[in-house]
Structure 1
Amino acid sequence: MKRYVIYTRVSTEDQGKSSLGLEAQERDIAIFLANFSEVPYEVIGRFRDVQSGKDDDRPELAKALRMARETGAELLVAKLDRLSRKVAFIAALMDDKRLSLRVAQMPYADKFQLHIYAALAEQERTFISERTRAALRAAKERGVKLGGARDKTMARNAALKAKADADAQRVMKVIAPLRGAGQSVNSIADTLNDMSVATARGGRWTAKQVSRVLQRSA
């Protein structure tokens, strides 16, 4: 029987964000178990931290890793960044022969692919940070008076755009093969809803939303 140890994490600032909150993580894990897991399966442990992903010294994560290693169960997380935001930490776990890792949002990804994804995600976060700083510098050089509130607004807008791009990339893993098979946007929306894949805001898919994802990805 396939066995899983489930780990979820939020930081204080993440708890209210739809794509990072506990409810969203539990939803993605449930989708994986219902649609992608071997059967029968058993969840032998659940662990949760409320702590920053930059801090790899997390008590519940340590317990989850220990249980997975000792039992041979797969460690199951909703998203790779729920495990850690550091490539070095994730790489060390990938090299651990006693540990098997599964990411719900990337059900068929192997360790090599997950390592690459972690590296790309880290680069993306660095780029977004640098892009925000560059935008603030450019505005200042144009004589725009930047206050604390304005800085936060610009940073928030950049973060929202980055999140929208990331959400589009995630769901394109499902949309692209369906579109390639000749399905219409209406049919793809129905398929996503049948699979219980929620939109970025937790709602149901429409043809218009599918079209927007295709346009953003293009």
Structure 2
Amino acid sequence: MRQYVVYTRVSTKEQGRSGLGLEAQERDIELFLTNYSEVPWEIAGTFRDVQSGGDDDRPQLRAALELCRRSGAELLVAKLDRLSRKVAFIAQLMDDPKLRLRVATMPQADKFQLHIYAALAEQERDFISARTKTALKAAKARGKALGGLRDTTMRRNAAIQQKAVSEAQILLQIIGPMRDAGQTLEAIAAALDRMEVATSRGGKWTAKQVSRVLARSRS
């Protein structure tokens, strides 16, 4: 009779409590047993860790491996990354003469094929990690550039505002006495044009512009 030791793993305590990921692993294992396993078969033990696949020192995995070595049962996992994310660790297990490994989602794969798959999966993870770091670095650089642009714009706007206030203080020496004398904003604007006092943009004076100068002078 074919014997299996079933091992499943999820990465976080939240996944362990909620069952996220576990149902999929159990379904794949059931599909393997129903469609691909020799018959009759039995489950010699079931073990589960709630721990990262990057950490190979897992208590339930150790127990599962010990039972396999002791009983001669095959270690059955749903996917290779449930066993480990490190190709060196998987290769070490496959080199153990007392262990036999079976992956439910690759029911016909032999040791050589599993080794190749583990190496390719690790290479892909390394590439994704490098790509993510590069993207984050680029995003940070863009953020600095945008931040620098915003700072430059703010400094320019502040300089423009300060220049307007300074000009208003000078113009107030002319506009102030006329306003104190009861002149209307329209009359002051006309007087400034007659004196050929230029506006900040070089245009004609209006009552609204005179009002702005008075407001800036009080800033």
Which sections of structure 2, spanning at least 5 residues, go unmatched? Answer: 147-219
CA contact (8 A) 2:26 2:78 kept: yes
Cα pair distance change 1:145/1:6, threshold 3 Å: farther
C-alpha distance in 1, partners of 2:133/2:27? 35
C-alpha distance in 1, partners of 2:80/2:105? 9
**Residue aligning to 2:84:** 84
Q: TM-score, normalised to structure 1's length?
A: 0.62
**Alpha-carbon displacement from aligned partner over 1:15-50 (angstroms, at most 9, x marks no partner):** 28xxx7111100000010011111111111101111
Cα pair distance change 1:14/1:53, threshold 3 Å: farther
CA contact (8 A) 2:13 2:50 kept: no
State the 1:13 CA deviation. 7.0
The two structures, once aligned, show a CA RMSD in angstroms of 2.3
CA contact (8 A) 1:14 1:21 kept: no
More helix by share: 2
Q: TM-score, normalised to structure 2's length?
A: 0.62
State the 1:136 CA deviation. 2.0
**Alpha-carbon displacement from aligned partner over 1:109-150 (angstroms, at most 9, x marks no partner):** 01111111111111111100111111222233344789xxxx
C-alpha distance in 2, partners of 1:68/1:15? 26
C-alpha distance in 2, partners of 1:77/1:124? 21
Larger Rg: 2
> Does 2:117 align with 1:117?
yes
**Residue aligning to 1:47:** 47
C-alpha distance in 1, partners of 2:54/2:31? 27
RCO comparison, higher one (Cα < 8 Å, 6+): 1
How many residues are treated as equivalent by the alignment? 145
**Residue aligning to 1:140:** 140
> Does 2:101 align with 1:104?
no
